[in-house]
Structures are given as C-alpha cells and as structure tokens.
C-alpha cells in the first residue's frame, strides 16, 4: 500500500511487508503530521492547513489480486469572517500561548505587520494603533472601528523553541 501526494513519485506513506512508514513529502509540508493505520490503511493528517489541499493517490497491491488505484481530492478552506465598517471583529485562534512566545499577526500577500509581541514588548502597525486587542492566553486578535481597508487575509504565527503554530483567517469588511 502506498500513499502519494500530487505525483506518483512523492511518496508520503506506505505499508510494505507489514512495516509502515510515513514521510514528510518532497517539500516537507507533512512533517510530523501523518498517521497511518496499519490495519485499515487509513491516512490521517493532523493540524491540517490549506497547504495540505490537493490530490492524494492510494495504490493497493497484493500478490493475489491486481493493483487498485484510488484518488482523493482534499480541499482545506480558510476560515472567513464578515464584519461591518465601524464595527469590530475578533479573530479567534484557539491557540494557547506562553509568555515567552513570539506572536506575529500579518496581513495580505505582502505580510504587512499588524502586531508583534516579543518578550513583553508589543509593536502595533500605525494603521491599527488604538484599534487592537491581543488575547493574553490565545493570541486572538480583536480589531475595532473597522474600515474597508481592513479586509484581507490575516496570518498568525506563534513561534517558540518547540514549534511554530500558524493560523489564517480571511476578513471581509463591508459598508462605509
């Protein structure tokens, strides 16, 4: 049994002669995210993100039967929120933070810094000054007095010595 991602040569998991193994994929996107059930062949991806969307190919081979090929298309959507100009929106992350974590919220393809918290120091982009509240335990972000220019793709990174956690939320602000 072989699981491949996108192409037949990008092996991410297999069971061969009773031994199972998983791999991170050609670009590392599945690092520490895959679990393969050696009884059923089910492949589980933990902490799934949009980068994990795509074509998954399963190849089942046995001596008694011919090879069976199956294809699965997986789509992972970004959380989307709508808000009204002049109102507020809270970007909930459900990500627990520690006091020594580096917290980065950015906006758009250019990754414009919205807010950065590092070693007790918080830096806020001038555009958002006086309009932000950063959660003390979850890194949730509340933006008040919204304008149409606050619409966009917000990205959160929580960085510490053990791991980096990512969250993405798309915000659409309507009205004037």
Tens of pLDDT, residues 70-121: 999 898 878 899 999 999 999 998 888 888 899 999 999 889 999 999 988 9
Tell me the C-alpha to C-alpha distance, in Å, between residue 87 and each of 5, 10, 34, 107.
42, 47, 41, 19
Q: Is the pLDDT of residue 64 over 80?
A: no
CB 118 within 8 A of CB 145: no
Give the integer Cα–Cα distance in Å for 124 and 105.
10
Residue 94 confidence (pLDDT): 82
* Phi, psi (degrees; rounded to nearest 5) at 149: -70, -5
- Residue pair 150/132 in contact (Cβ under 8 Å)? The answer is no
Region of residue 12 (left: phi > 0; alpha: psi -120 to 50; beta: else): alpha
Rg of the chain over Cα atoms, rounded to whole angstroms, equals: 21
* Per-residue pLDDT tens digits for 112-148: 999 999 988 999 999 999 999 999 888 999 999 999 9
Average pLDDT, the chain: 91
Average pLDDT over residues 15-33: 91
pLDDT band for position 33 (cuts 50, 70, 90): very high
Beta-carbon contacts of 29 under 8 Å, excluding residues fewer than 6 positions away, are 51, 52
Cβ-contact 74, 57 below 8 angstroms: no
The mean pLDDT of 38-64, rounded to a whole number, is 88
Q: What is the pTM of this model?
A: 0.64
**Domains of the chain, first to last:** 2-74 (no CATH), 79-174 (2.60.40.10)
């Amino acid at each position: 049994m072989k699981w491949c991602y996108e192409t037949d040569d990008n092996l991410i998991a297999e069971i061969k002669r009773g031994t199972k193994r998983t791999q991170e994929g050609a670009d590392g996107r599945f690092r520490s995210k895959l679990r393969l059930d050696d009884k059923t062949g089910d492949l589980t991806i933990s902490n799934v993100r949009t980068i994990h969307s795509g074509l998954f190919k399963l190849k089942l081979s046995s001596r008694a039967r011919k090879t069976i090929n199956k294809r699965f298309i997986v789509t992972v959507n970004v959380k989307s929120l709508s808000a009204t100009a002049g109102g507020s929106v809270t970007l909930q992350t459900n990500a627990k933070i520690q006091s020594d974590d580096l917290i980065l919220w950015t906006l758009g393809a250019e990754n414009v810094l919205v807010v950065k918290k590092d070693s007790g120091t918080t830096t806020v982009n001038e555009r958002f000054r006086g309009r932000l509240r950063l959660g003390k335990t979850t890194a949730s972000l509340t933006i008040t007095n919204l304008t149409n220019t606050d619409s966009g793709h917000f990205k959160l990174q929580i960085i510490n010595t053990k791991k980096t956690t990512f969250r993405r939320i798309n915000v659409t602000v309507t009205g004037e």
